[in-house]
Structure 1
Amino acid sequence: MASGRAKLEAMLPMATAPEPLLLDMQARRPSRVAPLPLPDVHGFVASPPACAIERNHIITAGYQQFGALVQDMVDPAFRREGISRFAPNWFAVGAHVSNTGGKNMLALERARALLSARADVGEVCAELGLGDMGERAALVLRPILARSGLTSALSRTLLAMLLVARRQISTVSGVDPRALPRSLRRGADLLVSADARGLSERIDAVMLTAYNALADGNIAIYADVAGAGQDFFELRNASGPFANDESLFGALGALWMPLDVASFVNDARDVVAFCRAHLGDFDGLCGLTARFPQGCLRRGLALLAAGFALYEEAGRTAEPRRKNLLIGGANALLVLREQRDIVQRAFEGRAPREVARAEIFRLLTPFLTIQVGPDCWRFAHWADASPARRARAGIGLERFEPAASHYNWSVFEDRWTPILSFFERMYAKPELVWIHRVEPDPRI
């Protein structure tokens, strides 16, 4: 695993990529899930394809394979029926999230190609079947850009950027118009901040930054969490299911921390004990970050070891409610590892030819969605769902502005609870993850 991580850290942000096949969700219910081979994550990370969208295709397929392997472990009926009515595991949900990320990357590629041709906003709207939306949006943009001293050409550019991306990801009708003024102003500020000469180069810098951040995060999470999953299943396939925590922690500790196995085992014990004490307690699981702040564990991989232990226990548990709670606890541990310890680096900094990554995600936060079949989770709906969240964002109930505009997805604390809420939504509709499987689709 170490060599794969070293290779990953040495990789430079990706430039533009061609448009290969992506994965899309096809509504079909398989009659049976065939045994899946264990993906070679370490080999993939050591020598990944140069094209980020091609990498995403492989990563999404890998998550789907791991998802089937873990669900087969926790639900004996899954292999026979090809569907599970228990809570889906992190890897199975991750296939859908990775697929959404791939669509975002493809949208950015298409938007860059479109805008490089200097398409007028009217042409963009006509191509997307948006009728007179461009003219109506121009009325919103004109005073904003006048205050910023920016040109009407820039206003058309900013609108096209948003519309093209939203059309590719989901329906344009899902855009909250209240978010547009502030978001467009932020987009203008990003273009001004770009270290580039002309408008087209500034646009390219903004789009490239978003593309690179998504691509870097995609492979970083897969290398770490799926790489740990490969290690876990290789050990499990060699020795059989782990009967208790100690045998699992000892085996993983010997692989991951051979010079200090005892410390690793103690860390994993502490994590799994806390998680078991808070099963079914959403606020308690959210408190994982306070109980185990970043850097307090000798090795963050103890979070993953504890998660695999809970998956193993779920497989030994017959009582449905407790099985679901154990799966949910394991998922929360994997989410904490990937979001706080791993992907955070992809949201920060600024590589050559880029703008500030954190500001890109501040711009995009009100429009973030995750698609699982026909179900679409929207960050904006989560942020607006309660007065407490609006107050947290500093928004009074009387103001005509979405709370999501005052969050930033690049800040871990701003996305930790929403991500756990998204998983809770999937627990209420577990069949969706399996019915709407990820399949190659040449139409994308």
Structure 2
Amino acid sequence: MEIHPPLRALTSSLLLLALLSWGLPARADEEPTPLADNRRITLGYIDIAYELGTLLDPSLQPGGSSTVRPNWFVFAPHASQTGGQGMLGAALARRLIDTARGRPSLSLVHALDRLGLTGEAKLTAERLSLELIAYGVPLDAAASLASLTRAMNGRALADPRTLTATSSRFASLYWRAPGFHPLDKAEAVVRTLERTLHEGNLAIFTDVGGSARLYLDWRRTAVGEVTPERVLSEFWLQDAVPEESRRAYEYALAHVNDSPRPFLFANLFPGMHWKSLLVAAFALYEEARLAPTPATRDALIALGNNYVAWREQHDMAQPVFTPPVSYPDEVSRAALLKALTPMLKTDFGTLEWTYADYAYSQPDRDGNPLTSPPTEYSWAVFWDRWTGILYAFEQAYGSPSALWAMPEPLTDPTAQPSSER
């Protein structure tokens, strides 16, 4: 029976609501924390990764591993976990700020102990804190800001050029932050990072994760064999245009073996609604499932991944990172992301990706020996982020089984009572 568009839209909304309400607190009036949302999202991505991964590799078992090239949804839990680590850093920084309002830390060591930092994370925070204090940032404010890097690539700061640029950028954010009291200024920076990561996490999961859940639910109830043609003609996403999805799919088949792999989609598909790319990606995953050789299968998966990632970054992440209107209680999101860019790190299972590695692999942008390559990029700039992500994809394709070491979703330690140090 033909489903009319309004009914389709209602069905999509209800399915997305069910997806997003999974794992929420039992009390209806209890607002989930960013970390609670992140845990739910990471778990949701893991479920999708295995369900879709099983289509591409029938031998894949729940909780198991595969040597088949990972689809986008195998990357997603790790990316979500990285965002969660940033939110955890923000939650711990806010706890230090709240504690310091009533009882300031006696020393930098005392402040870092209150944060519970150990090992490399503590050394990195200490190094950055001392630099911020030299810029006039008060002790507890400096420690709270430095703690935002707790799960990042602290090794990047071993380059004194990177340390100097990073501390200068953080100090500038602090002095320009709204508020008069030092801890109010620090809290504005912390608040900005937490909101940015939380909003991005939710936006991407709602759109891309929700679309995948709709697709897998449609596929499960489809009668007969599912083929790429059936995906293009029968599967529906709100705002996707069937003719556009078919055009993107056919272009992918014609250029699947191109080197470099197609990635300039704004030029290739001008005027296309990027939701159409998601439908095309699902059709490409089905094409990969039926591919005659592993090489063809992997090439199709990789191009499908680029389609999904473009939608993720171009349409969902970018408006969060560079919003058209700034919140009055925040600092510049773009400036904050630029400050953090040299230390960005994601553990894709047992494979570590760092933005610094990517930056050092590229030609020196300004040719100035006084600036380090990682400080010449910004995660808030779409093209800097996009090319860094494509670099991460290519790294991961060399170790496909590494990504199946799924992360243990985070819990919010600040939600539980804890003794004050």
TM-score w.r.t. structure 2 length?
Answer: 0.82
Q: Which residue of 2 aligns with 1:19?
A: none
User: In the alignment, is residue 121 of structure 1 matched against residue 113 of structure 2?
Assistant: no
Shift of 1:202: 0.7
CA deviation string 1:371-395 (max 9, x = no partner): 12342210011011132xx22xx24
For 1:402 and 1:241, locate their aligned partners in 2 and report how far apart those are by CA, in whole Å. Answer: 57
What amino acid maps onto 2:81 in structure 1? N
CA deviation string 1:132-162 (max 9, x = no partner): 878866775576x2xxxxx2526x7335522
Q: Which residue of 2 aligns with 1:42?
A: 17
For 2:411 and 2:178, locate their aligned partners in 1 and report how far apart those are by CA, in whole Å. Answer: 37
Q: Secondary structure at the match of 1:273?
A: helix
What amino acid maps onto 1:278 in structure 2? H
Q: Secondary structure at the match of 1:439?
A: coil
Q: Which residue of 2 aligns with 1:26?
A: none
1:159–1:44 Cα change, 3 Å: same
For 1:401 and 1:271, locate their aligned partners in 2 and report how far apart those are by CA, in whole Å. Answer: 40
For 1:176 and 1:242, locate their aligned partners in 2 and report how far apart those are by CA, in whole Å. Answer: 55
Q: Which residue of 2 aligns with 1:355?
A: 331
Superposed structure 1 runs of 4+ greater than 3 Å apart: 1-7, 44-49, 124-143, 156-160, 170-177, 240-246, 439-444
Q: Which residue of 1 aligns with 2:138?
A: 153
Task: Tell me which moved more, 221-230 or 241-250.
Answer: 241-250
Alignment of 1:28-427 (within 5 A): 41-45=16-20, 50-79=32-61, 82-116=64-98, 117=100, 118-119=104-105, 120-125=107-112, 128-129=117-118, 140=131, 145=135, 151=136, 153=138, 157-158=141-142, 160-162=144-146, 164-167=147-150, 169-170=151-152, 172-177=154-159, 178-240=161-223, 243-253=226-236, 256=238, 264-293=241-270, 296-297=271-272, 299-349=273-323, 350-387=326-363, 390-391=364-365, 394-396=366-368, 399-427=369-397
Q: Secondary structure at the match of 2:406?
A: strand
Work out the percentage of aligned pairs sharing the same amino acid: 28
Q: Secondary structure at the match of 1:79?
A: coil
Shift of 1:91: 0.9
Shift of 1:331: 0.7
Shift of 1:441: 6.8
Unmatched tracts of structure 1, length 5 or more: 8-39, 146-150
Q: Which residue of 2 aligns with 1:20?
A: none
On the 8 A contact 1:379/1:418 being kept in 2, the answer is yes
What amino acid maps onto 2:109 in structure 1? G
What amino acid maps onto 1:128 in structure 2? L
Alignment of 1:11-26 (within 5 A): none
Q: Secondary structure at the match of 1:384?
A: helix
What amino acid maps onto 1:153 in structure 2? P
For 2:50 and 2:126, locate their aligned partners in 1 and report how far apart those are by CA, in whole Å. Answer: 48
CA deviation string 1:261-284 (max 9, x = no partner): 8xx221012211222333243534
CA deviation string 1:207-243 (max 9, x = no partner): 0000000000001001111111122112211115764
On the 8 A contact 1:121/1:157 being kept in 2, the answer is no
Q: Secondary structure at the match of 1:354?
A: coil
On the 8 A contact 2:43/2:409 being kept in 1, the answer is no
Q: Which residue of 2 aligns with 1:37?
A: none
For 2:126 and 2:309, locate their aligned partners in 1 and report how far apart those are by CA, in whole Å. Answer: 42
For 1:192 and 1:4, locate their aligned partners in 2 and report how far apart those are by CA, in whole Å. Answer: 48
On the 8 A contact 2:128/2:167 being kept in 1, the answer is no
What amino acid maps onto 2:138 in structure 1? A
On the 8 A contact 1:87/1:327 being kept in 2, the answer is yes
For 1:105 and 1:88, locate their aligned partners in 2 and report how far apart those are by CA, in whole Å. Answer: 26
1:135–1:375 Cα change, 3 Å: closer
Q: Secondary structure at the match of 1:437?
A: coil
Unmatched tracts of structure 2, length 5 or more: 1-7, 25-30, 414-421
CA RMSD of aligned residues (A): 3.0
For 1:347 and 1:282, locate their aligned partners in 2 and report how far apart those are by CA, in whole Å. Answer: 30
For 1:441 and 1:140, locate their aligned partners in 2 and report how far apart those are by CA, in whole Å. Answer: 30
What amino acid maps onto 1:100 in structure 2? T
On the 8 A contact 1:158/1:187 being kept in 2, the answer is no
